[in-house]
Chains A and B, each alone.
Chain A
Amino acid sequence: MDALLIPFLDATIRTATPLAYAALGEVVTERSGVINIGLEGIIIAGCLGGLIAAGAGGPTVGFLGGALAGLLMAALFALFVLRLKADAIITGTALTLLGLGLTGTVYRGVFGLEGAALGTPSIAPIALPGLSSLPLVGPVFFTQTVMTYLLYLLVPLLAWWLARTHTGLALRAIGESRTAAHAAGIAVDRIRWGAILFGGVMGGLCGATLVLGQVGTFTEGMSAGRGFIAIAIVVLGRWRVVGTALAALLFGGAFALQYLLQAVGWALPYQLFLALPYLLTLVMLAALRGRAEAPAELASHEG
């Protein structure tokens, strides 16, 4: 039993990690009242940014590169939505197309048609001394990459920041009513810029983690809808930090199920497992009908 369960749970955490980065970033963006549908484009930019930067300076530089790529994409989004008052949904769609197209073009430009060198630097799991020898929990939670461990710190920190600081309060207020926040002397646009850029950095880290910590190389369109799945994760997590992290686990499980069921030798076509996360997204969104807990300002963007 453990022979199947532990690899499955391990894969769940591993695939959930990049999803959690993107979704937590989106939580902050959406709590400020803006939905960034362009997250997909940010993630793929983070993938390529991570790959190129890691090739130049190793994994640490790679993560910085991924974050920077995400930041730049998010800045473009913020420029259009906040400065030019463009429609957030359409801008986000364009950002996704831009990310997919631009990474494809740059990738082929840099690496030629035969693709990236196989020797992409990557990060290996680190077994935490002591904790990793706990039964079940050890190999699953404490034999992961440093990016997963960072998440363990980031989740409580972010939750605390949203609930217990005035900036966090201001962010939530803007998401509920920008006029009321404005009247309270809050610099609405500055905080929204911050929230969108944070979402960009986190989306970029998601991409970099995907390349450097999970897949080990870059392929065109490798983000494979994770940006949209992350948005669904935020809905499932009820726009709360801890809830979103848990929801990311569920979707990590859906991705990891492919490995488990293939290992069991299930005879179903593998495309069914490919489609599983997307089906799960639809089912989850439908099951969570009613958006009572969504930030009120988001409604102005939703049909």
Chain B
Amino acid sequence: MTEALLALWDGAFGSSYAIWSATLVRSAPLLLLGLGVALAFRAGVLNIGAEGQFLMGAISATAIAQSMGGTVPSIVMIPVMALVGALAGASWAGIAAWLRQRFGVLEVISTIMLNFIALASISWMVRGPLQEPTRIYPQSAEIPGPAQWPFLIPGQRLHLGFVIGLLACGIAWVVLTRTAIGFRIRAVGASPSAATSAGGIAVAGTVLRVFLVSGACAGLAGAAEVGGVTWALYEGISPGYGYTAIAVALLARLHPGWIIVSAIFFGALEAGASAMQRDAGIPSVVVQVIVALVILGVLAGSQRRVIAGAATLGAEGRR
């Protein structure tokens, strides 16, 4: 037991490599994914489909990087990958948003179905159109050099995606607290009826936009994972990041600032768990158990509703 915990700690924080090349690298996708989930929950949208949106972002970013080839400079390539990834994630979420608004399909179910469809898509991609040239392994070829996102610290694997995640959280915090759009998102999430009746807020439009932005965050995370970490597409590119993101968002109480802390916590957990499996033979799926227990713990510890209703920034919005 002690051995396992030591391995966990060492894997997460035991060395500068553990911190900068394991924990924070794993936190990078969780920042964007957790933020996307939190924004959606804020507006009363139960987007459980971050996993699928992440995968679609990863597929699209790989495809665009491969098709643009090695001659396009990074300064063009990286923004294009990010944009395409975000658009792919937003479109994937858009299907669920459309199904909700046009047909009243519960987004909890539709986003999960879309997760499975995304998994089938990636499975096909790495054996079909995007498979590496030798056609032996179920994965894509390595993306060209200019498409590989820069590392932040020499000798460490922390990449640009982490900074983008931090920025996104900061921007989201300012938008939610200081702008009219953010106010509308919070109002719609807290009380759709009052937002409509008293505020004249177009609930459907607000919900749709937040749903798309939420998907874009997840898609961007997928692009960043391909560009910054794996440099190739393969089936197991996400160890369930999209589901961990739900715990990230809930533990942060849907607050963009706390998402940074919460994402690093779960990043450390993921990093530590791989080390634990390697060094102490404890299966790393135990992380999923911890994720579930964290969600249940947050639910048990809160008298108020975690999503929507209680999601007000309260007096912060004043000054």
Contact = CB atoms under 8 A, between A and B. Distances in A.
Q: Do chains A and B touch in the complex (CB under 8 A)?
A: yes
Interface of A: 37, 76, 80, 84, 86-87, 89-91, 93-95, 97-98, 100-102, 104-105, 108-109, 220, 224-225, 228, 231-232, 269, 271-272, 274-275, 278-279, 281-282, 285-287, 289-291, 302-303
Given A104-B283, A282-B105, A286-B103, A224 B46 contact: no
B292 A291 contact: no
Given A87-B307, A271-B124, A220 B116 contact: no
Interface majority SS (helix, strand, loop, mixed), chain B: helix
Given A97-B243, A228-B109, A105 B286 contact: yes
Interface of B: 44-46, 48, 95, 99-100, 102-110, 112-114, 116-117, 120-121, 123-124, 127-128, 243, 246-247, 250, 283, 285-293, 295-296, 299-300, 305-307
A87 to B, nearest CB: 6
Contact of A100 (B104, B288, B307): B288
A236 to B, nearest CB: 12
11 contacts: A87-B307, A94-B296, A98-B288, A98-B296, A101-B286, A101-B287, A102-B288, A105-B288, A269-B128, A271-B121, A271-B124
A190 B114 CA distance: 36
Contacts of A282: 95, 99, 105, 110, 113-114
Nearest to B290: A101
Contact of A224 (B44, B48, B116, B286): B116
B200 to A, nearest CB: 21
Interface majority SS (helix, strand, loop, mixed), chain A: helix
A282 B296 CA distance: 28
B292 A278 contact: no
Given A102-B289, A274-B120, A84 B283 contact: no
B296 A101 contact: no
Contact of B117 (A108, A109, A279, A289): A279
What 3 A-B pairs are tightest by C-beta distance, nearest first?
Answer: A101-B288, A98-B292, A104-B285
A141 B85 CA distance: 48
A303 B44 contact: yes
B253 to A, nearest CB: 13
Contact of B295 (A76, A93, A302, A303): A93
A302 B247 CA distance: 20
Contacts of A286: 99, 102-103, 105
A108 B283 contact: yes
A87 B295 CA distance: 11
B104 A87 contact: no
Contacts of B243: 93, 97
Contacts of A274: 120, 123
A98 to B, nearest CB: 3
Contacts of B290: 101
Given A93-B295, A272-B120, A303-B45, 12 more contacts: A89-B46, A97-B291, A97-B292, A101-B290, A104-B288, A105-B289, A225-B113, A225-B116, A282-B114, A285-B103, A285-B110, A290-B104
Nearest to B105: A285
B299 A302 contact: no
Nearest to A274: B120
B136 to A, nearest CB: 18
Contacts of A104: 283, 285, 288
Contacts of A287: 103
A279 B114 CA distance: 8
Contacts of A98: 288-289, 292-293, 296
Contacts of B44: 303
Contacts of A291: 104
A105 B292 CA distance: 13
Contact of B299 (A86, A100, A224, A289): A86
A101 B291 contact: yes
A271 B246 CA distance: 27
A221 to B, nearest CB: 10
B296 A225 contact: no
A63 to B, nearest CB: 25
A93 to B, nearest CB: 6
